[in-house]
Amino acid sequence: MKMNGARIMLECLKKEGVDTVFGYPGGTVINIYDELYSFKEIRHILPRHEQAGVHAADGYARATGRVGVAFATSGPGATNTVTGIATAYMDSIPLVIVTGQVPTALIGNDAFQEADIIGITRSCTKHNFLVRDVKDLATIMKKAFYIARSGRPGPVLVDLPKDVQIAQTEFIYPETIEIRGYKPNLVGHPKQVEKAVDLMLTARKPVIYVGGGVVLGNAAEVLTSLARKLAMPVTTTLMGLGSFPESDPLSLGMLGMHGAYCANMAMTHSDMIIAVGARFDDRVTGKIATFAPHAKIIHIDVDPTSIKKNVRVDLPIVGDVKDVLTKMLRQVDKNREKVAEFKDALAGWHEDIAGWKAKHPISYKQSTTIIKPQFVIQKLRELSDEDAIISTDVGQHQMWTAQFFEFNKPRTLLSSGGLGTMGYGLPAAMGAQVAFPGRQVITICGDGGVQMNIQEMATLVQNRLPVKIVILNNNFLGMVRQWQELFFDKRYSQTCMEMPIDFIKLADAYGAKGFSTSKPADVEKVIMQGFKEPGPVIMEFKIAREEKVLPMVPAGASLNEMVLNA
Amino acid sequence: MQHTISVLVENEFGVLARVASLFSGRGFNIDSLSVAPTNEEGLSRMTIVTRGDDNILEQITKQLNKLIDVIKVIDFTDGSAIEREMALIKVSAEDDSRAEVLRIVDIFRAKIIDVTPKSYTIEATGNPLKIDAILELLRPLGLKELVRTGSVAIGRGAKGWTG
């Protein structure tokens, strides 16, 4: 059957199993929206800003493991998506973004609302396409979804000129596609796996270092089995939180700049690091020259460019982490005797770790007069559902959440790790709530970040999305203020948010509920009130203004040079 | 150390920009880059001369391979490839220097492709080092303009490198 390009694009989404799109209309996507008007298979959520639309699609993707989809119009609509796309790119989140473009005949003429979004997003997408002929559209859409979700996932942008949306052709969705230059290596080499297990079993001080790849690759379960079978301690990055239960005694918690003392000490003293789906980011390694000086490194990653990019690697395995870990588990099962011996030999290592854990656990000084942010996070964990989904913005509250909210399940923490995007939390929670209307979705924000996408309150109320917005309000851009305190002589340049916001009135203006307290004794009450509300809620906690995130590895210092009390 | 890399790419819209922005975005050097279609339909071949230590070269080849439009990458280590470059050189040539220019052109098996009473324009082809050498000799005589194509490289031996 002949259809126009706009309709074909929607039919392609249907073929890919997409049932939700976050999008914002405009002049060059009006044909798409006209087709959408009678296209009942897709639920369309209208955010109040295109950036939030992409973050919402990203939150949807992180929470579900499916590809998130967003629409935007050409020009400013498209450029507004860029922060969202870059956020997803840095954290390897599968998205397909469809932007409208001016008619092909006008491209390059500085037409009204024209932007070279292909050029602009070239370095923050996994790939992007400009559709110049409607006959190519179905194949391009198929490729876009395949590229977005396979290998190391990432965002793919499809730029669709208005005349291509109008042009008609036969709709044939290709069953399979072949991309000569794109053949992700998913299967771990069996010989390398064998070697890796042999090498691993020679360790006496092993650490499994887990990144977001384990969450993305749905490998949390097999990772947990492997770690438990060998009694190996596990530390995770911010992106890896939830891939190994933090309630497990083998968990060291998060490592890195604001990681646990025991995790950073374990890395520094380790003789064997098994890195899984992690990329040795500078926030994780500290000073590279002194990073894990005694360790042999086994690195498992689906993306060969991650391997040996920042640190030397003794044994690389390129492949899907789930495939590789499953093979390793099988190999371990073949070596029962060696495994028993290996586990016995770890006794001393476990003692060292227990010592570090006891010496400097993640902690804070409680107060009866002023709310400590860490206390709010602990209470949230205590009072929220076991399977609650938490999103964060970026800054102090994000690190407190990582430190004090115990994550035990994958895909329960949505946070911008790589790009560090303020304003991510609220729309990401919105996307997750759309995906899981029945689950508790909580976004934990600071007073700075929450104002970067606060307009999405309207979207929450309109769509009856009962996201619980927790604001840890210190009237500061707290993380930068902390750096200014520690490294810039307390010169608080432009980090004080002098103008206090009445968040209760703000919630009210959007038709939502707002609660606020500055008393530690009321924290529990406010959380319970907020959780009981059937709709979206703001819960504001006026916290100790100059509370710091500790411990901390100063930028450029070694992992074991932690500031514990400052 | 200088490396010559050949990259086989889909002859798609924007592919040159993808490769070039990969180099600039990640802080890799490009000493020269040349690109044109190959004998295979829909494929182009780029020859990129770059520099860096082993780690950087490993990242360059891996990052290139990661681009969807890149089909194959080969890093020609010393001696495994033949490299050629062409230069068009406009040089002052008056009075006694006219004969000197002709002698140099002859020695390097170059060609005069344009001539005026005051200048010669020379076409020189060869290994990039040979081009450097002829330029060194011509420079004192008054170099007016220089255009180099950048290296192209092809592997030695009977086997063809194709997509």
pLDDT tens track for A133-161: 999 999 999 999 999 999 999 999 999 99
B74 and B6 belong to one structural domain: yes
For B10, the domain range is 2-78
**Last residue of a domain, which of B35, B51, B78?**
B78
B68 and B11 belong to one structural domain: yes
Which residue positions in chain B have pLDDT lower than 70? none
The residues in B 76-115 lying below 8 A from A, measured between CB atoms, are none
Out of A132, A181, A303, the one facing B68 most closely (by C-beta) is A181
B115 and B145 belong to one structural domain: yes
B141 and B104 belong to one structural domain: yes
Measured in residues, chain B has a length of 163
**How many angstroms separate the CA atoms of A360 and A353, rounded?**
11
B64 and B98 belong to one structural domain: no
Out of B55, B58, B68, the one facing A127 most closely (by C-beta) is B68
**How many angstroms separate the CA atoms of B19 and B33, rounded?**
10
**Does residue A566 have a pLDDT over 70?**
no
Residues of chain A with CATH 3.40.50.970: 2-170, 373-542
Interface test with B, best of A92, A117, A118, A122 (most B CBs within 10 A): A122
Say how far residue A408 (Cα) sits from the centre of its chain. Answer: 16
Query: Is B116 among the domain residues?
Result: yes
**How many angstroms separate the CA atoms of A531 and A52, rounded?**
24
**Does residue A401 have a pLDDT over 80?**
yes
| Global confidence as pTM | 0.96
| Per-residue confidence (pLDDT) for residue A97, from 0 to 100 | 98
**Last residue of a domain, which of B78, B96, B115?**
B78
Query: Is B159 among the domain residues?
Result: no
| Per-residue confidence (pLDDT) for residue A565, from 0 to 100 | 83
B32 and B62 belong to one structural domain: yes
B70 and B102 belong to one structural domain: no
Mean predicted lDDT score pLDDT of chain A:
97
B87 and B133 belong to one structural domain: yes
Nearest chain A Cα to B57, which residue? A309
B9 and B70 belong to one structural domain: yes
B113 and B67 belong to one structural domain: no
**Which residues on A lie below 8 Å from B66 (Cβ)?**
303-305
B60 and B108 belong to one structural domain: no
8 Å CB contact between A432 and A391: yes
| Cβ-based neighbour number of residue B10 at 10 Å | 18
**Last residue of a domain, which of B32, B63, B78?**
B78
* A139 touches B: beta carbon within 8 Å: no
**Which residues on B lie below 8 Å from A308 (Cβ)?**
55, 58-59
pLDDT (mean) for A382-411: 98
| Per-residue confidence (pLDDT) for residue A396, from 0 to 100 | 98
| Per-residue confidence (pLDDT) for residue A157, from 0 to 100 | 98
pLDDT (mean) for A8-33: 98
* A122 touches B: beta carbon within 8 Å: yes
CATH number, span A190-359:
3.40.50.1220
Nearest chain B Cα to A311, which residue? B55
pLDDT (mean) for A528-532: 98
| Per-residue confidence (pLDDT) for residue A231, from 0 to 100 | 97
Query: Is B157 among the domain residues?
Result: no
**Does residue A29 have a pLDDT over 70?**
yes
Which helix (H) or strand (E) segment holds residue B76: the answer is strand B70-76
Nearest chain A Cα to B26, which residue? A123
Query: Is B124 among the domain residues?
Result: yes
Nearest CA distance, B57 vs chain A (angstrom): 11
Q: Sorting pLDDT into bands at 50, 70 and 90, what band is A112?
A: very high
* A166 touches B: beta carbon within 8 Å: no
| Per-residue confidence (pLDDT) for residue B80, from 0 to 100 | 87
**Does residue A458 have a pLDDT over 70?**
yes
Nearest CA distance, B61 vs chain A (angstrom): 9
CATH class, range A373-542: alpha beta
Query: Is B140 among the domain residues?
Result: yes
Query: Is B21 among the domain residues?
Result: yes
Exposure string (b/e) for B119-136, b if CB count within 10 Å is 16 or more? bbbbebebebebbebbbe
**Which residues on A lie below 8 Å from B17 (Cβ)?**
119, 122
Residues of chain A with CATH 3.40.50.1220: 190-359
Query: Is B163 among the domain residues?
Result: no
B92 and B27 belong to one structural domain: no
Four-residue CA torsion sign, B49, B53, B54, B55:
negative
ipTM score of the complex? 0.91
**How many angstroms separate the CA atoms of B128 and B126, rounded?**
6
pLDDT (mean) for A224-252: 98
CATH of the domain at B48: 3.30.70.260
Instruction: Determine whether domain A2-170 maps to CATH 3.40.50.970.
Output: yes
